[in-house]
Structure 1
Amino acid sequence: MTAIGYARVSTTDQDCAIQEETLRAAGCDVIRSERKSGTTTKGRAELATVLEFLRPGDTLVVTRIDRLARSLMDLEKIVQEITAKGASLRATEQPIDTSTAAGTAFLQMLGVFAQFETAIRKERQLEGIAKAKAEGVYKGRKPSVPVDAVRALHGEGVSPTEIAKRLGIGRASVYRAIGETATMA
């Protein structure tokens, strides 16, 4: 029976050292760390390695549940995978231990709160963008398609396929630019 630690931070300027120290103190024989967002499990190679490595009787240890997942759906999938392997999940800073009914219930409650926190952060971000747009500070991404050139060529009777070839853009982009003309007219 092995205690395997998993540490995660979201950005490259953050450090996993404190989490790793806590996991070592919790008796983890192996610790894997990574710098990736917790909003998805995609691209989290160390998490995938840890989950693959788990054997019956092992325990995956994290400092807090939000280090594992920020989405309730991802958290449920991870816990199902851990359980299916005959292993358990434990958090050092929260009363989570999936080998007990109370620990599992607390895990589910915290998962809901982690997802709620992510949704609130996204709302605040969208509010900030809307405010910046209203103040003329936020302009968004610069257009990657020369809309005026597309419209000029289309006005000369050039086909959308030929416009795409000449300008080195996709036909869908040509149709979008032409469609904007129709809605603006």
Structure 2
Amino acid sequence: MEDYKYLFKIVLIGNAGVGKTCLVRRFTQGLFPPGQGATIGVDFMIKTLQIGGDKVKLQVWDTAGQERFRSITQSYYHSADALVMVYDVTSRDSYNTLPDWMKEVETYASPKIVTVLVGNKTDLASEREVKSEEGQAFADEKTIQFMETSAKEAENVDKLFIDIAVELTNTVRNVEIKTDAEEVPIKEHHSVTGCCRQ
């Protein structure tokens, strides 16, 4: 028997070197891996949480940022429940490519997908090239959520994934409640029409 009530797939996207793997490892294992090499293709880790009394399993997919792996990573978009689009606050280049990543999201992902923009590496404050306000402005323009994190200092990392898990869980619960509520009137409606035919 399955040991969880809900299973959600969260996919991290963004340029190589922005810290996607470090975010995944920090959240799922509590580690900050020094000298992390570039991800080849895709990799995923699992973490189980308790959300409002239900056991929720998260599959967190870490994708390669290099252009040569793009066709592989795109295939993971359509089955994702949430996308985390990561840039490095110390790299203007990684921020400047966000419109390209957003275009991929709009092309390959479900319109209902939960998308969060993340500015990572806030611990490197003296090297910052992208202001918080710029990240927030891009997120506002695209009507997506925004958060800044530090995988190294574990700042906002758990909050990022837990907030996503809570939102996804609430969405599914609301659909279940709505479906249950709709079933009753439908049955009553059929019995009424049955009476009218007699």
TM norm structure 1: 0.33
Question: Between Structure 1 and Structure 2, whose CA radius of gyration is higher?
Answer: 1
Higher relative contact order (CA 8 A, sep 6+): 2
Q: Normalized per residue, which structure has more strand?
A: 2
